[in-house]
Structure 1
């Protein structure tokens, strides 16, 4: 109970000016905390998430709470039941604090909407938190919830994790069931946790994982617990880095990236590989625009005026695509995914990139930066295209104003590889920060 009350008090103090939450349910949070406390007093906790405070992105259904999806066009009626992933968290004893912000229909890499306004990074309130799970990342960075549940169709867990200095984990596609299933989004979306540690991300994802009849793509998947057991994992993880990265990176990111590689490569083999980064981004961008166009088409005519003009501009390029265009996109997607999985099985174990090529965008950036968000997000879509797992983990370079995110990705089903590599990077970063604090009093 004390933890829940402290969290609710902290939300009152810290959320102002950041705008991470769209809903806070004090009554439910305290009720769930009271029930958890009772289980602990009886020596009957439900598991490691029992009593742990969490937040949920406002694209996922929580029984009794509305799902507004950041849009004025949606209903304020309460959802009748939990999504499968949320029901599993409830059954594990997690304490639900509230719902977090998202852009309208989760369409972009920044979190701002006509319904809820702008969400900023707690690291620098003059900069965006990223998106579309920006509220989840901002809340987690502030310590408001141990786990923030987000969704990711082109980087929407990893982008805000990088911009807010926390961990974002997108598991293998289908590992966590999607409910309701987003039928028009070309198997791009995933559900994933945002946390302050790799271990917490792995735990939360494993609780949500496992087959469910409501998501046909989940039925052939085993639970993440089996993937994370360590069986079959290489003793020395081989890291690949895409050729030509420097041309994508702003100077601040390039300096931090070079610093990270200089530390990681001391004990781990790193090789350069050829990856069609930009083509993959463009394929995912087109398919994602089609999904957003479908979401817009489901808005009734009498509510269309409530849609954000930038969202309408975002979907405009796909309005006149032909069948042969879509067939060509899907063919290239399959070719790239097959080529990448072969590389990640036969030659390397994980692919390492910066999560983002730039620091968090400033809130006074021109409006075109929102519409063109895929132009400054080249690296994350690759693992939505390929269905592989990917983690963004923070890296602090000495003297840098902000941490960057490092993205670790692997072949589908090899979640253990990405989490092991991310945990190693996390430990190296912590060691560097501790050493810097002892010697200079300041790192990052």
Structure 2
């Protein structure tokens, strides 16, 4: 059994005439007006565009010519991706407010699917950290507890999704930026295999770390949105070796006896509250699956990704003109300063170890276990008044997500509500590159097990009027 996606349910309601895309779009825009001021999830909301797209969708449904299950479904897009007619500010005062001339390929595919674009969501400057706060747009707060951060860098997408503002929030993830805020906000975050969703423009200086991925309230919706955006595209050479995801990805048959690997020493990273929820999750999951301890260099992987990611951020900062450089966030400049001292020998060593670890992990995930399971985050969301150093040192409190950017495999963060727990934790399910179906099947199983204990008040759903 799996939890049905909201997109499919909305699609069926549209076909039956129970509700219209225009009614849903208006309800969504009204809800954004009421709820967004409390969290700061959006940097741009375009009522005219949303309603125009909704009217076109409604006309297609009346003619029984819907384009597919995303037709008329409201979505949001992180402000690092180009949307034709909207500026791409990337959370920085150094960027232009001129509208983008064309869609990124992932956005164009969503447009072609008939999805309704509500607006763009917040990101830290150049998406550089695991919290969403920027000089241009301020701080994004957590809908579950506005005294805490939403996480990042796709924090606006996660906060909006958690509030029922959009069925899908499109984010980007180079070290966990889809999965971190999904875990902190109690929703699903899916980073497909590297290259599955083309990057446009291709981020040549980021060491093949970035991915595009959806944030949703169900695994089924994440799988559907990723499938729509997937498929080869010429300007991203890494996408050419990947096949498109099947839009029935979330309907994969359940594995007869899931083999789950858990990294040795993992519990040493966990805060007490997260540790209790993690042990609770393992006790439930173990009833249906076999769990084995595996040796994976979690800390070293995190440090390698941190260095390579810092180099990418340093390159992004170097592209800012000298007259605008003073507008860059001081914390970003502090973050990139150490990597600028790396030598060619340092870079060769980092890349060699990256390849060794990726091969080691792939062998484990093919020969020994089906998936690797960790908490997505070792801690609860940081408080909004946390010291600035905690934000700058975000790799220190984010040990688990970088592993699957290093290794290119798919990873899904699924919320888990432990009995008596105030906050859900995220459970990260990762698989070998290309085995997205296995990762989705495992995430669906965990979602189904966890849904039995989810508090009724936490069942956020889309605002439809």
Task: Establish whether residue 28 from structure 1 lines up as the match of residue 43 from structure 2.
Answer: no
TM-score, structure 1 normalization: 0.97
Cα displacement (A) at 1:226? 8.0
Aligned-pair distance for 1:229? 8.2
Q: How many residues are treated as equivalent by the alignment?
A: 438
Aligned residue for 2:246, secondary structure, equals: helix
Q: Deviations over 1:413-434 (max 9, x none)?
A: 0001111111111111111237
1:1-400 equivalences under 5 Å are 1-225=22-246, 228=249, 234-400=255-421
Whether the 8 Å contact between 1:141 and 1:166 is mirrored in structure 2 is yes
CA displacement, residues 265-285 of structure 1 (integer Å, 9 cap, x when unaligned): 011111110110000000000
Deviations 1:363-414 (A, max 9, x none): 1100000110000000000000000000000000111111000000000000
Q: CA deviation at 1:246?
A: 1.2
Contact 1:167 1:196 in 2 (8 A): yes
Matched, 1:423 2:444: yes
**Gap change, CA 1:371 and 1:52, over 3 Å in 2:** same
Partner SS for 2:341? coil
Q: Is the 8 A contact 1:237 1:417 kept in 2?
A: no
Supply the distance in 1 between the matched residues of 2:269 and 2:347 (Cα, whole angstroms): 27
3-state SS, counterpart of residue 75 of structure 2: strand
User: Is the contact between residue 230 and residue 245 of structure 2 (CA under 8 Å) also seen in structure 1?
Assistant: yes
Deviations 1:68-113 (A, max 9, x none): 0000000000000000000000000000000000000000000000
Q: Given that residues 224 and 248 in structure 2 are in contact (C-alpha distance below 8 angstroms), is that contact kept between their aligned partners in structure 1? A: no
The aligned counterpart of 1:409 is: 430
Partner of 1:115, secondary structure, is coil
1 CA distance for matches of 2:251 and 2:415?
A: 23
Residues in 1 aligned to 2:36 and 2:247: alpha-carbon distance in whole angstroms: 37
Deviations 1:112-133 (A, max 9, x none): 0000000011000000000000
The alignment partner of 1:45 has SS state of coil
More deviation in 234-243 or 110-119?
A: 234-243
CA distance in 2, matches of 1:135, 1:225: 28
Q: What is the aligned-residue RMSD (CA, Å)? A: 1.5
Deviation at 1:20, TM superposition (A): 0.1
Q: Which has the higher contact order (CA 8 A, sep 6+)?
A: 2
Task: Give the whole-Å Cα distance in 2 for the aligned partners of 1:431 and 1:349.
Answer: 24
**Unpaired segments ≥5 residues, structure 2:** 1-21, 460-465
Structure-1 separation of matches of 2:366 and 2:385: 43
Instruction: Report Cα offsets for 1:187-220 as digits up to 9, x if no partner.
Output: 0000000000000000000000000001000011
Is residue 92–residue 134 contact of structure 2 (8 Å, CA) maintained in 1? yes
Contact 2:254 2:441 survives alignment (8 Å): no
The gaps in structure 1 that reach 5 residues or longer are none
Give, in whole Å, the separation in 1 of the partners of 2:392 and 2:106.
30
TM-score normalised to the size of structure 2?
A: 0.92
Q: Equivalents in 1 of 2:219, 2:257: separation in Å? A: 19
CA contact (8 A) 1:165 1:405 kept: yes
Secondary structure at the residue paired with 2:176? coil
The SS at the match of 1:340 is helix
* Residues 307/162 of structure 1: CA separation in 2 closer, same or farther (3 Å cut): same
